[in-house]
């Protein structure tokens, strides 16, 4: 797992999640996460299935945020969980697919890996308005410290802009996620810019 990780946002989208996903993949997204915080479960499942089909056609891993039931019912490649979702231990008792975990400390990251996390979303690296309850910014140095303690891919999220990509990649991130900086107008173009920044953003 490496590259730009695209995450949908039903509150910011202009053209809808399906179009955003198709455009993000056209722009070079290496992985897609379906993130929708509200709505009927049947609607979420239908949309997740449709997004999964788009991803499968292009060979891009498809992850569902929060909802293990939707991920399993839609046949997604994995699920991403945060601190208020089902505990990782409980998820692993019933699910053997990819499981990403949001962490904001070395302790949380090491514990998650011990319980079977497939990758970590290190968040929030910088202050963010997308997740107002995410807590204080942890900074790129947390990526560097985690890199010395775990052996799973690390994705930086939270306040990531093009100008900040180099800092997190140099710290050891395997990729980045950016929601507000990509969802909206010209998803393809915005994602392509991030993909290019990630590709040249590591240590020189």
DSSP symbol at 27: T
- State the average pLDDT for the chain: 94
Higher per-residue confidence, 128 vs 51: 51
Instruction: Write out pLDDT tens, residues 8-35.
Output: 999 999 999 999 999 999 999 999 999 9
Instruction: Write out pLDDT tens, residues 59-73.
Output: 999 999 999 999 999
- Report the alpha-carbon distance of residue 196 to residue 201 in Å, rounded: 8
Distances (CA, A) of 174 to 94, 95, 156: 28, 24, 8
3-state secondary structure of 63: strand
- Report the alpha-carbon distance of residue 88 to residue 93 in Å, rounded: 9
Instruction: Look up the CATH number of the domain holding residue 32.
Output: 3.20.20.70
Residue numbers of the domain that contains 155:
3-200
Q: How many domains does the chain have?
A: 1
Q: Give the per-residue pLDDT at 204.
A: 44
Q: What percent of the chain has pLDDT over 90?
A: 91
Q: Give the per-residue pLDDT at 203.
A: 46
pLDDT confidence tier of residue 201, bands split at 50, 70 and 90: confident
**Is the sign of the CA dihedral 157, 161, 183, 26 positive or negative?**
negative
Q: Give the per-residue pLDDT at 1.
A: 84
Closest C-alpha to 123, from 95, 104, 141: 104
Q: Give the per-residue pLDDT at 155.
A: 98
Q: Are the CB atoms for 153 and 2 separated by under 8 Å?
A: yes
Instruction: Write out pLDDT tens, residues 101-157.
Output: 999 999 999 999 999 999 999 999 998 766 555 568 999 999 999 999 999 999 999
Instruction: Write out pLDDT tens, residues 36-45.
Output: 988 999 999 9
């Amino acid at each position: 797992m490496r590259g730009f990780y695209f995450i949908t946002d039903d509150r910011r989208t202009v053209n809808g999640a399906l179009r955003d996903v198709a455009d993000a993949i056209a722009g070079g997204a290496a992985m897609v996460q379906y993130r929708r915080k509200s709505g009927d479960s049947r609607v979420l499942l239908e949309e997740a299935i449709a997004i999964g089909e788009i991803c499968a056609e292009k060979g891009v891993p498809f992850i569902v945020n929060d909802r293990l039931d939707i991920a399993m019912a839609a046949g997604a490649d994995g699920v991403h969980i945060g601190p208020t979702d089902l505990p990782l231990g409980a998820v692993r008792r019933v699910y053997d697919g990819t499981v990403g975990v949001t962490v904001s400390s070395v302790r949380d990251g090491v514990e998650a890996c011990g319980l079977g996390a497939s990758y970590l979303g290190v968040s929030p690296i910088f202050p963010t308005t997308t997740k107002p309850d995410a807590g204080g910014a942890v900074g790129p140095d947390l990526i560097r410290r985690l890199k010395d303690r775990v052996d799973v891919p690390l994705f930086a999220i939270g306040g990531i802009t093009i100008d900040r990509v180099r800092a997190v990649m140099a710290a050891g991130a395997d990729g980045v996620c950016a929601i507000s900086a990509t969802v909206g107008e010209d998803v393809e173009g915005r994602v392509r810019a991030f993909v290019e920044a990630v590709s040249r953003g590591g240590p020189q």
